[in-house]
Amino acid sequence: MQGVIYEEGSIWIFLFTTILIGGGAAWMTGRSVALNWGSLGLLVAAVVGLAPPYYPRSRLDSDRDGCLLGVVAEALGAAEARGLGRTTSRPFFPGISDMSFLYPEDDAAERLLASAACPLGLDPLPAGFSCPALNLGPWGREYHQRLERVHASYAFGTLPELLRLVAEGILAGE
């Protein structure tokens, strides 16, 4: 299950950080709110204000996006042949990305649920908008956290060359 549910090298690290630290932080936050905020309106405002936005599911499909995936496969092969290391691709990004809004896969029922969960009932996904999204960015650990880090040799060596190869493939119309 490693890599699917958790990325740490041990299930114990995952359980420690998720249950002990995350659960403790949630408990302390709830306790603070209960002790210091008397108004129900402030509590509702805090919950709505701190709620994460809806991020639609987005992935590339081999039937629908075969040309783009072909360009990426060729670029990955060329980068490996040039000695930049072996890089694999996934049809999805396992984290939260704003690119999800570019190529949403949600059906009408999921869109209705998203608009109902969105403050003021706004639809976060414009109807009919669809643009294949490709995330070639740097990879690392602990995204957007205090100890966030990237794999330096990939970010500053492989990635620029890979971006060039993909851009050339797309512009050549392959």
The CA distance from 22 to 15, in Å, is 10
Going by C-alpha positions, the residue among 138, 137, 115, 142 that lies closest to residue 126 is 115
| 59 in the same domain as 33 | no
Both 95 and 33 in one domain: the answer is no
63 plus 27 within the same structural domain: no
Euclidean distance between CA atoms 34 and 53, whole angstroms: 24
- CA-wise closest residue to 110 among 129, 124, 93: 124
CA distance 108 to 125: 11
Residue 168: per-residue pLDDT: 93
Q: How confident is the model at residue 52 (pLDDT cuts 50, 70, 90)?
A: low
Residues 132 and 114 in one domain: yes
Range of the domain at 30: 1-51
Q: Is the pLDDT of residue 172 over 80?
A: yes
| Res 123: pLDDT | 60
85 and 18 in a single domain? The answer is no
Of 51, 68, 86, the last residue of a domain is: 51
Task: Summarize pLDDT for 54-106 with one digit per residue, the tens.
Answer: 677 777 888 888 888 899 999 999 988 988 888 887 777 766 677 777 777 77
Verify that 33 and 58 share a domain, yes or no. Answer: no
Residue 165: pLDDT over 90: yes
Q: Is the Cβ–Cβ distance between 162 and 76 less than 8 Å? A: yes
122/68 same-domain check:
yes
User: Which of 4-18, 39-53, 76-90, 99-113 shows the lowest mean pLDDT across its residues?
Assistant: 4-18
Does 26 lie in the same domain as 59? no
Last residue of a domain, one of 9, 28, 51: 51
Q: Is the pTM of this model over 0.75?
A: no
CA quadruple 25, 26, 31, 37: dihedral, nearest 10: 110
Question: Nearest 5°: phi and psi at 6?
Answer: -140, 155
Domain tally, the chain: 2
- Mean pLDDT for 125-129 is 65
Centroid of chain to Cα 58: 9
Q: Higher-confidence residue: 129 or 133?
A: 133
**Which pLDDT does position 4 carry in this prediction?**
46
Task: Write down the pLDDT at residue 59.
Answer: 77
Confidence of residue 24 (pLDDT cuts 50, 70, 90): confident
Tell me the angle at which helices 159-171 and 66-81 cross, rounded to the nearest 10 degrees: 140
- Regarding whether 45 and 19 lie in a shared domain, the answer is yes
